[in-house]
Amino acid sequence: MPMTFEQWQATRRRVEDMRNDEVYAYDFDGPAYIYAEGQILINEDGTLLVIVANDDWHGAALDVAERYLWENWAKYEVGGVT
């Protein structure tokens, strides 16, 4: 079933160490926000990092990071409705 941006956004959960997450195991030893599709990494200085294929986004605003991840990856994975 397709998701809207808001439905996808509501799947967000924060983990303190992605290597120890019970659902997803990533090779990143720091905190992150994990969604139904995709993740936003949290750097030591608190800035955010989104990696999509060969492109990435760095910044401090979670809402901007979420929109970037949604528009460039997640909506295609969840059959997104804009």
Q: Which residues contact 54 (CB under 8 A, 6 or more apart)?
A: none
For the chain, what are the domain ranges?
A: 5-77
**Sole residue written with tokens 């956004």:** 9
2 — alpha (psi -120 to 50), left (phi > 0) or beta?
A: beta
Torsion angles phi and psi, residue 33, rounded to 5: -100, 130
| Whole-number pLDDT of residue 59 | 96
pLDDT of the residue at 22: 61
Q: Report residue 58 as tokens.
A: 């760095």
List per-residue pLDDT tens for the chain, 82 residues long: 799 999 999 999 998 887 776 666 566 778 999 999 999 999 999 999 999 988 999 999 999 999 999 999 999 999 887 6
Helix (H) / strand (E) element for 63: namely helix 62-69
- Which pLDDT value is given to residue 25? 54
What was the pLDDT predicted at 17?
82
Amino acid, res. 52: V
